[in-house]
Amino acid sequence: MPEQKIVPPEEIFSLPRKKAFITGSEAVAEAIKRANVDMAIAYPITPQSESMHLIGHLYAQGYLKDFYRGENEFAVMAAVHGASLGGGRVFTATCGPGTLRAMEMFPVWAGARQPIVCAFMCRGVALP
């Protein structure tokens, strides 16, 4: 496997600024690229599917060491926990009902003081 591409912090400030109209998912992908994330774990379900799809492109371009999909939201959050405990800089995204399903892991992350990056996309939770 080729070595991970690292974006030096100095590069962020030296590049010319340009105005662009991008989606929230494209902004998430750009932020993850610049943050030098080691691994992303996804359970693609709308609306964060687009974000994790773009993160998959970053993996294909060599900006992440690893990228895979979990079998459900809770499994992804548990895998993120393990990857972070192993020393990786980890990212995932979630939304709406998936966030509720994954909620059990959030106190575990906080209690272990883990530096996990998670994008929470906007999606309401339906009434019962």
pLDDT digits (tens, 9 = 90+) for 55-102: 999 999 999 999 998 888 888 888 999 999 999 899 998 877 777 777
Q: What homologous superfamily does CATH list for 22-121?
A: Thiamin diphosphate (ThDP)-binding fold, Pyr/PP domains (3.40.50.970)
Please name every residue paired with 95 in a beta bridge, in sequence order, or none if there are none.
121
Instruction: Name the residue type at position 107.
Output: P
Q: What is the pTM of this model?
A: 0.80
Mean per-residue pLDDT of the chain: 85
Name the residue ranges covered by the structural domains of the chain. Answer: 22-121
With a CB cutoff of 8 Å and minimum separation 6, the contacts of 70 are 41, 42, 43, 76, 79
Summarised one tens digit per residue, pLDDT across range 105-117 is 888 888 888 888 8
